[in-house]
Structure 1
C-alpha cells in the first residue's frame, strides 16, 4: 500500500492529520460530519504501512461498540489483513482486556464477573434492605448513581468526607458495603472496570512502563466525552516518548450529566505539550443552510475552541420551522410530512424524529400508528439485556463458575422448581456467616431443610452439576443450545402465553447463533466461554444495534449522536423543555443544552424541520410555552416559517396572561368554552379548551383552588352548572 492510496480522496486538513510526523502529538478538532473516522483509520494505516509501526504498538480507543467494530472493519479493508491482536475498542472493553490479562496484579479472581446495571441495582437494593436503610428516604437509583458518580471520578469510599450531608453519609455507607460485597464475590461493575485498570497501572510501575513502551501511538476518538478516570487512564499511558492523537469536538460535548468533562479537551494543550491542533471544518453531511444556522447557534457559547463548518454541496432547502397549536398538532404535521416523503419513494428509515425527552414520543407514536407508518424507538432494549437472554447467560455463567452468586440468584428458581424465598434467604445467611459462595452454601444446608425444600434444592444442584459434566466436550454454540434445553428455558418460553409471537424462543435461538459466530481469537486472554460472557456483559453497556431499515426512527437527541439522516424533525423547541427548566439558569448547563441542539441540527443531511408547540400536555399537566431561545439565535434568513390557522381559541394563545382574558364561548356538543363546571375532587372551574373525540376527548378546566388541569372527558364526570 503506497502513500497515495492512503491520502487519496482526503482534503488538505485531513491529509495533514493523517501524515503527521512521529513524535508529534495532535488534537484533531473534528466538526460534525467532517470525516473523523476516516482520519483515524487512515492515520493508523499510514503508521503501519509507511512508518513500519507494528499493529500491536497501537492503542485505539472509541466510545461505542459500534464505532469500535466500524474501525476494525475499515482497518482490515485498508490493510487487507486481519488485525485481531490490535488493541482497539471502547474504554470499558480495553480496561476489561487489561484486567483479564493481569487479574492477579489487580487483586481479582481470574474468573471475575461483570455486573450490568440491573445486577448492580439488585445488589445495592438487597444491601440496603439487609442493613435497614429506608428506600423511601434513600431511593436505590439515587444511591446507585452516587456510587457510579464517585467511581467516574476515581474516588473510593475512604476518600469521601460526608460532613453533615445525611444523604451522602448514608450513600457512603452503602458504597462501603457494596465495595466489600463485590470484592468478596469477584464482581466488577462498568465503572469499576475503569477505576481498577487505572489503579492496576498506577500501583504496578513495572507494568505501567511495559505498556507505555509498548503503545507507541495512542489514538482516542470522541475525546470531549472522556470523564475524569478515562482522562487519567490515557494520561498515565503517556510517557513523553510515545504519541497521542486525539480526535474530538468541544461543540459536541453533551454528556456532562454522566461524568464527561468538556475541560479535558482543553487540558490536552498543557498535559500533552507540545501538541498541534488541526481543525476539520469541511462538512460532508449537511447542506449550507443547515450548517450556517448551526454555526450561528453554537457561536453563542463562550470559551469554545472555535471552528466554523462549511460545505461545497450548496445551500439546499431552507429549514422549516413549524409553530404547532398543541403536541398533537405537532405530531400530525411531522407524521403527515413523513408520510408524503414515503409516498414520494423515500425509505422510511431516512426519516428521524428527535426529541429532548423520552416522554415526548407518545404523541408521535400514536399518530404513526394511526396513519399506519412503521416506526421504531432507537436505543430500546439491547439484545443481551433481554430477560430471556440474561436467563440463559446466567446458566452458562454458573456452569462455567459455580462461585458466581449473582447468576445463581437469578436462576435458582427459574423456571419455577419449588425453591422459595425462605430457602434462598437461608442460603444467603449461611453464605454470609461462612464467607462462601451461594452454591457452596446451598450444597451445605440442603440436608437441613424440610423434605420438599431439600428435594427442590438438591434437584437444582444436581442439574447444574450434570450440565457441567455433559457440556465439558461441547463447543460454545453446542453448550448454549444444550443449556437452553436442559434448563427448561425453551419449554418455559414455548408455553408462555404472554409471548404469543414466539419472540423469546426466537431470541434464544439467536443466542445460539451468536455463540457460533463468536470469534475467540479477539479475546485470547480468556477461555471461550468467559470471553463470550464478557462480550455479552460489555455489549449491554454500549450503543444499540442499528434498527431495521423499514422504519421511521424515533430517538432522543442524545441517542442520535454519531448518526445521520436525510430528513430530521427536531421537535419540542420550547423553553423549559429545550433548554430544560433545570438547565436554563445555569450557564454551563445552558451551554450543554445549546451543544445538544447543535448536535440535533447537524444530524440532518438534506432537510431539517424544527417544531414547537404553544401548548403541550407533558408529565400529566398542560403547559403553555414560549418558543425556545435557541430559535432566536440564528438568522431568520435560513428559515421557512409555517403557521397553521388555529381554531376558536387562537387569540388566547397569543396572550401572555391567558387566564385573565375574556373567553369567547365556542361549543362542541355538551362542552362549551367559558362554561362553569363542577368536579367531584377539584370543585368549581371554567372550561378553557377542549380537543379530541370520543373516549380520547380531553377538556381543559381552570379550577378556583386546584389550578388548571387537563381531564379525560369520559372519566371526569363534570357537572355543568
Structure 2
C-alpha cells in the first residue's frame, strides 16, 4: 500500500486535485491522452488509504474488458493483491454478476444464456417465420436495432404493445400483422414476442443485461438496498459513452433518487446517504450515438448531481503539440462544448503529412510505400503503425496494397473468433448444456454435425413444444410422443442421450471448462467431421477449435473459481478492441481498424484515411448538424490517437455502388491550420488539370503553369501506362493523360520495389515492369530529399516540391457574413445546376425544399461550385445542403 505522497507526488496539479477530492459527485473532464486511467486508479487507491474505505465498497466500471484488465493491473501495483477482490469490470460484466446472484427475483434463473448478435438474429428469423413477416423488407438487423433503441431508452415491451397492438398476446398463434400497414405495430409485436421467447429460453441479450438489472433494482427494494449499502464509491470511466439505461443504472446503484439526503463529507465520507460518484470522460470524444450513447449524460452532469465538482485535465502526455493543435482546431468548430484546449510539454514535433491520391488504390499504395520507408529508414516497428478509416468497406484497398507490398497487418473488427461457424457451433453445445431451455442454441446443434435430423424432425419437435408450452429440448425428451418415423426417432433418441451425457459430464467437471470443451468436441463429432474433410479450409477450422480449448484452459488458470458458465460469459462479452495486443506487446503487424474501434488506443504513427466529404464526414451527416458534430468528434478521436507522426490522406475518386464518384476534400482538412500540414501531394492529377478544388480553383497565376514534372515522379501515360485507368474507363472516355510522355526517370518513388499490379480496368499504375523508386524520385513537397538512388533529375511526388516554387494548400474557408450582408463570391464560383448561386443568398433568407418544406438560411459556406448552405427547417431540424444539387427554391 503506497503512502499519500507516493500517490500524488508525480501528478500535475489538476490530476492531484481530482485524486484527493472529497465530495459526493465529481466529473473529471479528461482530454485525450491526459492520463485519466492513472488518475482513476490513484483516486481508488486514495479512497482506500485516505478515506478508510474497504475494497468491497468500490465499484469501478469501464467499457471494455481490456480497459478493466489494465485498471486491475495498475491497482494491483498500487494496493497489492487486494485489488483482485474489487469489482473492476465493464457495465455488462457487473450486471451479469448481479443477475446471477439475484436475477431469480425477476424470473431469471442463474444459468441464463447470453445471446450474441447471431443468436438474436436467429431468434428474430424464427419469430418472423411464425408471424409471416417479410424479412427482406424488415431485416432482422433493422428490427433488432429498433428493439435496442427501445431498451437503451428503457421503453418496455408492454408499453409499446399497449400503444400499437394492444390485442396481441405474446406466444399467440395466427396473429395477422400489418392490417393497417403500421410499421410500429410490427416492431411492437416482434419486441413483445422476442422478449417472451427470451424469457422462455432463460436467456438475455446484451441490452437486457443493463435493462433487467435496472428492473431488478427498481422492483426489488431489498436487492437495491443490498447493493447501495455495498457500493459506497462508484467510479465510471468513459462516461460520455453511457446511454440512458446505463445512466439510470448508475443512479440506482448509487441510491441518488432513493430519497436519502447526503451527509456532510467530514462525517459520511461515502458511508451514509447516496454513494459518492466519480465519472471520467470527455464530451469531445462522444462518438457512439449510433449505439444509443447520450452526450447529455456528461454535458448535464452538474445539473443531475447538485454540488458536483468539475475538474478539467488538459495536459496531454501522448502527442506532440502539432497533433494537438490540429485536434484543437477541428473540435473548436463544434458548438455548445465546454472550453478545453489540450497542450503538451513534449514539444512541437514533426508536421502532419498530407497526401491527395487519384483514387483509393493509389492512396493505399502510397500508404504502403510510406510505411515500408518508415520501417527501413526510421526503424519504425510495424506494430507502431495504425491505419484508420471511417467504414469497414475502406479496408479492402488498404489490405490489397499491404499484401502486394509484403507488409504484415492485422485487421480489427472483421469476423471475430467467437463468430466463426465452427467455434459458434461448439459454444452452442456448451450453452445448451448449461441451459437446456435455450431453444436457439439447441435448435442450432440438432443437426450439427449432420445426423439425419433435418427440417422435418425440427418441425415435429417444435410442434410438440408449442402445443405443450414447453422448451424445444422437452420435445426431444418426449421423442416417443412425437409420432416421428422410426429413423428420425432413433436419431432423436441418440441426440437426447448425447446431450444428457454431456450435461452429466459438465456437472461433474464444472471447474474444468477445458475438459468439458474437449469432451464436447469429441463426443459430438464436431472435431471428427472436420478432421476427415479434404477441404483445406477445414484444417484451419480444426485449429480454431483447438484454440477454443486453449482459451478455456487459460481462463481456468486466470480465474479463482472457474466454471463453465463463467467461461461462456467471457466469450459472450468480448469486444472488437479486446482482440488487440496489450500495451507494450509487439504484434509485429500493422493494425487496420475503424475510427470507432480506435477509441482509447494510441500509436506512434497513425494514418487517417479517406478524408473526403461523404466518406469522412459520412454522407449521412451532410444534412444534419448534430451528426456532423459527432463526425467531428470522431475526427478529433482519430487525430489524437497519434503520438509522434500523423498522416492525413484522401482520394479524388472513390468507388461507390459500383460507380467511380468524384470526391471533395473533407471539411476537416480545411479546419486544420495550413501551416501544420506538409503536403506531399496537394492535389490529384484530375484536380490539377481542372485548376483544383475549392474557392475558384487554381490557375497559372498561382502555380505558374504545369507540365509533365507536375505529376511528381510518376509518368501518367508513359510506356505501357495510362492515367486513364480510373478517369478514362470509369468515365467512359478511355483517354490517357500524358500519353506522349515516357521518361523512365519519372517512373517511381521508392527504391527498386516493383509494383506491377493493375489499378483499373485495363491499365497499370506505374506500368508493367516499372519500379516504384527508380533514380532520383522524391516524395515531395517542401523537401528535396530523394528516397530513390542518386542519379538523374529529381522529380517530386506532389506539388510544392523542390524547385517548383509553388506553395499553399487547397482550401475552402468558411465564410461567416454579418447579418444582412452577402458573402463575396469567388471569381471561379459557378451557378448551381438549379440556377442558384451562393451570391444569391444571405443569412435569414427563406427557401422551400421539396422534402423538408419551408426553411430559414442560418449559415453560408462559399466553396464555388461546391458551395453549401445551412437551413433550419423547424421540426425537420437543421440541414446542410449542397447548393448545386439541392431541390430548393428561394422565396
- Answer whether TM exceeds 0.5 for this pair: yes
Against the structure 1 CA distance between its residues 229 and 309, is the aligned structure 2 distance closer, same or farther, given a 3 Å change threshold?
A: same
- Report what 2:572 is aligned to: 537
Partner deviation per Cα, 1:680-717 (whole Å, 9 max, x = no partner): xx9x96446699988764279xxxxxxxxxxxxxxxxx
CA contact (8 A) 1:320 1:609 kept: yes
- Report what 1:705 is aligned to: none
Partner deviation per Cα, 1:264-305 (whole Å, 9 max, x = no partner): 102210111111111111101100100011111111111111
- Report what 1:284 is aligned to: 317
Say whether residues 1:465 and 2:500 are aligned partners.
yes
Q: Distance in 1 between matches of 2:276 and 2:316?
A: 27
Q: Distance in 2 between matches of 1:673 and 1:268?
A: 56
Q: Compute the displacement of 1:93 (Å).
A: 0.9
Moved more, 405-414 or 469-478: 469-478
Partner deviation per Cα, 1:485-525 (whole Å, 9 max, x = no partner): 1111221222344444833222322322332333599686x
Q: Compute the displacement of 1:86 (Å).
A: 1.8
Moved more, 225-234 or 639-648: 639-648
Q: Distance in 2 between matches of 1:16 and 1:24?
A: 15
Say whether residues 1:494 and 2:531 are aligned partners.
yes
Say whether residues 1:363 and 2:400 are aligned partners.
no
* SS in structure 2 of the partner of residue 59 of structure 1: strand
Say whether residues 1:14 and 2:30 are aligned partners.
no
- Report what 1:438 is aligned to: 472
- Report what 1:195 is aligned to: 211
Say whether residues 1:218 and 2:252 are aligned partners.
no
Partner deviation per Cα, 1:336-373 (whole Å, 9 max, x = no partner): 10001111321111111111111111111111111111
Against the structure 1 CA distance between its residues 695 and 323, is the aligned structure 2 distance closer, same or farther, given a 3 Å change threshold?
A: closer
Q: Distance in 2 between matches of 1:576 and 1:464?
A: 52
Moved more, 406-415 or 119-128: 406-415
CA contact (8 A) 1:558 1:596 kept: yes
- Report what 2:612 is aligned to: 574
Q: Compute the displacement of 1:667 (Å).
A: 9.7
Q: Distance in 2 between matches of 1:689 and 1:175?
A: 57
Q: Distance in 1 between matches of 2:108 and 2:686?
A: 70
Against the structure 1 CA distance between its residues 673 and 581, is the aligned structure 2 distance closer, same or farther, given a 3 Å change threshold?
A: closer
CA contact (8 A) 2:113 2:435 kept: no
- Report what 1:372 is aligned to: 406
| Higher RCO by CA contacts (8 Å cutoff, separation 6 or greater) | 1
- Report what 1:698 is aligned to: 761
Say whether residues 1:638 and 2:701 are aligned partners.
no
Against the structure 1 CA distance between its residues 689 and 273, is the aligned structure 2 distance closer, same or farther, given a 3 Å change threshold?
A: farther
Moved more, 301-310 or 340-349: 340-349
Moved more, 240-249 or 589-598: 240-249
CA contact (8 A) 1:446 1:457 kept: no
Q: Compute the displacement of 1:166 (Å).
A: 2.4
- Report what 1:232 is aligned to: 248
* SS in structure 1 of the partner of residue 622 of structure 2: coil
- Report what 2:184 is aligned to: 168
Partner deviation per Cα, 1:13-64 (whole Å, 9 max, x = no partner): 111111112x342100000001101111111111112222001101111111
CA contact (8 A) 1:359 1:619 kept: no
* SS in structure 2 of the partner of residue 431 of structure 1: helix
- Report what 1:412 is aligned to: 446
Q: Compute the displacement of 1:645 (Å).
A: 8.2
Say whether residues 1:130 and 2:130 are aligned partners.
yes
* SS in structure 2 of the partner of residue 83 of structure 1: helix
CA contact (8 A) 2:100 2:109 kept: no
CA contact (8 A) 2:577 2:597 kept: no
* SS in structure 2 of the partner of residue 206 of structure 1: helix
- Report what 2:33 is aligned to: 33
Q: Distance in 1 between matches of 2:617 and 2:472?
A: 49
CA contact (8 A) 2:358 2:686 kept: no
CA contact (8 A) 1:689 1:699 kept: no
Q: Distance in 1 between matches of 2:732 and 2:547?
A: 57
- Report what 2:710 is aligned to: none
Moved more, 124-133 or 451-460: 451-460
Q: Distance in 1 between matches of 2:416 and 2:392?
A: 17
CA contact (8 A) 2:31 2:342 kept: yes
Against the structure 1 CA distance between its residues 253 and 655, is the aligned structure 2 distance closer, same or farther, given a 3 Å change threshold?
A: closer
Q: Distance in 2 between matches of 1:265 and 1:496?
A: 55
* SS in structure 2 of the partner of residue 502 of structure 1: helix
Against the structure 1 CA distance between its residues 364 and 456, is the aligned structure 2 distance closer, same or farther, given a 3 Å change threshold?
A: same
Q: Distance in 2 between matches of 1:39 and 1:502?
A: 47
CA contact (8 A) 2:287 2:634 kept: yes
CA contact (8 A) 1:254 1:596 kept: yes
Q: Distance in 1 between matches of 2:337 and 2:130?
A: 49
* SS in structure 2 of the partner of residue 698 of structure 1: coil
The structure 2 residue matched to 1:324, chosen from 353, 357, 369, is: 357
- Report what 2:810 is aligned to: none
Moved more, 303-312 or 442-451: 442-451
- Report what 2:155 is aligned to: 155
* SS in structure 1 of the partner of residue 251 of structure 2: helix
Q: Distance in 2 between matches of 1:673 and 1:184?
A: 61
* SS in structure 1 of the partner of residue 478 of structure 2: helix
Q: Distance in 2 between matches of 1:165 and 1:14?
A: 57
- Report what 1:564 is aligned to: 602
Q: Distance in 2 between matches of 1:331 and 1:321?
A: 13
- Report what 1:428 is aligned to: 462
Where does 1:515-664 land on structure 2 (aligned, <5 Å)? 515-518=552-555, 528-539=563-574, 543-546=578-581, 549-643=587-681, 650-652=688-690, 654=692
Say whether residues 1:337 and 2:400 are aligned partners.
no
- Report what 1:42 is aligned to: 42
- Report what 2:74 is aligned to: 74
Q: Compute the displacement of 1:575 (Å).
A: 0.8
CA contact (8 A) 1:649 1:689 kept: no
Moved more, 581-590 or 223-232: 581-590
Q: Compute the displacement of 1:532 (Å).
A: 1.7
User: 5+ unaligned residues in a row in structure 1: which ranges?
Assistant: 659-664, 701-721
* SS in structure 1 of the partner of residue 623 of structure 2: coil
User: 5+ unaligned residues in a row in structure 2: which ranges?
Assistant: 166-179, 257-261, 263-272, 698-715, 740-754, 764-891
CA contact (8 A) 2:115 2:205 kept: yes
Q: Compute the displacement of 1:646 (Å).
A: 6.2
More helix by share: 1
Q: Distance in 2 between matches of 1:105 and 1:84?
A: 28
Give the paired residue count: 687
Q: Compute the displacement of 1:179 (Å).
A: 1.2
- Report what 1:93 is aligned to: 93
CA contact (8 A) 2:56 2:85 kept: yes
CA contact (8 A) 1:65 1:543 kept: yes
Q: Compute the displacement of 1:403 (Å).
A: 2.4
TM, length-normalised to structure 1: 0.89
